[in-house]
Chains A and B, each alone.
Chain A
């Protein structure tokens, strides 16, 4: 089946620094990728939609200047958490629907801890 990878799988950073998370579709192309955030014991909340070749679309309440998204190619989207704070500590998951497929594949997630 189709595979989506995320890197890194976990990261610990100090407050005030920036962290970049990569999401790659390994064996299919995706014009759109999605970024979700999941706090402990909660559901996945959509943060933003990453569009190849155009600006990302952010959900209400998500700061676009803090969570920078770049969809550089049909197989790569990156999420940069700028000036990270402890409240940004969470599990970040990306997903991608292959072109012309009803399915949506999820990456394994990135656990971010900000100290």
Chain B
């Protein structure tokens, strides 16, 4: 069974600083994908970054990077140069196997960027 763990219910970061949001996962599958989504107060789910289990390099998308440590089963999100608009809920998610399999989410981390 899949399990995603986000141990930080809330995080604070100063504007322009970097922040790391933690995510660990548990799976017995060899093929899986890891995702990070941002959910502002409007409720929409905004895709940030994806890491495939066979990808050898850490994924990066602009100010977002994913610190993928396969042996430790962790997939932490790093946000560099935080902006006030980054304040939101952040969810880590995993999908095992094929692209049309379901996706399971962690509990989420509420990030607050302070001016």
Contacts and interface: CB of A to CB of B under 8 A. Distances in A.
Contacts of A99: 100
Interface stretch (B19-27, B72-80, B101-109): B101-109
Interface in A34-71: 34, 38, 42-46, 49
B99 A109 contact: no
B99 A101 contact: yes
How many of chain A's residues touch chain B, expressed as a range?
Answer: 20 to 34
A104 B35 contact: yes
Interface of A: 30-32, 34, 38, 42-46, 49, 91, 93, 95, 97, 99-106, 108-109, 111
Contacts of B102: 34, 46, 49
Given A104-B35, A106-B45, A43 B103 contact: no
B47 interface: yes
Interface in B18-71: 33, 35, 37, 42-45, 47, 50, 52
Contacts of A105: 47
A100 B105 contact: no
A31 to B, nearest CB: 6
A45 B108 CA distance: 12
6 contacts: A44-B91, A100-B99, A102-B33, A104-B95, A104-B103, A106-B47
B100 A32 contact: yes
Interface residues of B, number: 21
Contact of B43 (A34, A95, A100, A108): A108
Contact of A102 (B42, B50, B104, B107): B50
Contacts of A30: 100
Given A102-B33, A102-B50, A104-B35, A91 B99 contact: no
Given A32-B100, A106-B47, 11 more contacts: A34-B103, A38-B43, A43-B105, A44-B45, A45-B105, A46-B102, A91-B43, A97-B99, A101-B99, A105-B47, A108-B44
Contacts of A95: 45, 103
Contacts of A46: 102-104
Contact of B100 (A93, A97, A106, A108): A97
A49 B102 CA distance: 7
